[in-house]
Amino acid sequence: MKIACVPQFSDDCQALIYPITSDWADWSVLATATGVSEALLREEVKGEKGEITPFFANERRVFIVGLGKDPRSSDIIRALRTVVFRHKAKLSAVIGVEMSNLPAAWAEFVANGVRLAEYDFGLYKTDTKPAPVWAGPEGRLELHLAADASAAIRKGEILAETQLQLFRLLNAPANHKNPRTLASWAMQSGDRYGYSVRVFDAGECQAMGLASLLAVGQGSPNEAGFIVMEYKGEGASQTVGLVGKGVTFDTGGISIKPSENMHLMKSDMGGAAAVLGTMEAAARLRLPVHLVGIVPTTENSIDGESMKPGDVIPSYAGKTIEVTDTDAEGRLILADGLAYCVKNYQPDVLIDLATLTGSVIRTLGYQAAGLFTNNDKLGKQLKRAGEHTGERLWRLPLWEEYAEHLKSDVADIRNFSGLPHSQAIAAAKFLEVFTEGHSAWAHLDIAGTAYGDTDFAPQRAGTAYGVRLLIDFLERQIVDI
Told to judge if 414 belongs to the known catalytic residues of this protein, a careful annotator would answer no
Q: Which of 72, 88, 257, 377 is catalytic?
A: 257
Name the residue among 168, 329, 173, 330 with its Cα closest to residue 244: 330
CATH of the domain at 104: 3.40.220.10
Contact 242, 292 (CB under 8 A): yes
CB-CB neighbours of 460 under 10 Å:
16
Q: Are 411 and 267 in the same domain? A: yes
- What is the DSSP code string of 353-419? EE---HHHHHHHTTS-EEEEES-HHHHHHHHHHHHHHS--EEE----GGGGGGG--SSSSEES----
Which of 131, 148, 165 is the C-terminal boundary of a domain? 148
How does pLDDT run across 222-237, given as a tens digit for each residue? 999 999 999 999 999 9
Compute the distance between CA of residue 159 and CA of residue 19 in angstroms, rounded to an integer.
Answer: 21
Residue type, 41: L
**Known binding-site positions for Mn(2+):** 245, 250, 268, 327, 329
In the chain, how many domains are there?
Answer: 2
Q: What is the pTM of this model?
A: 0.96
Sheet holding 413-414, edge to edge: 312-313, 321-322, 413-414
Q: Which residues are annotated as a binding site?
A: 245, 250, 268, 327, 329
Per-residue pLDDT, 233: 96
Q: 193 and 143, same structural domain?
A: no
Of the residues 266, 331, 383, 468, which is catalytic? 331
The residues, any chain, with a CB within 8 Å of residue 137's CB and separated by 6 or more, are none
Q: What is the pLDDT of residue 479?
A: 63
DSSP H helices, 53-149, are 73-86, 107-116
Clarify whether 331 is annotated catalytic.
yes
142 and 180 share a domain?
no
Query: CA 120, 125, 130 angle in degrees (round to 5)?
Result: 55
Q: Are strands 15-20 and 369-373 parallel, antiparallel or unpaired?
A: unpaired
**Cα–Cα dist 345/368, whole Å:** 30
Residue 166 lies in a domain: no
- Give dist(CA 103, CA 196) in Å, integer: 37
Q: Is the dihedral of CA 274, 277, 280, 283 positive or negative?
A: negative
**CATH no. for residue 307?**
3.40.630.10
Residue 338 lies in a domain: yes
Query: At which of 79, 113, 148 does a domain end?
Result: 148
Taking 70 as the pLDDT cut, the residues of the chain under it are 477-479
Structural domain of 7: 2-148
* Together in a domain, 79 and 193: no
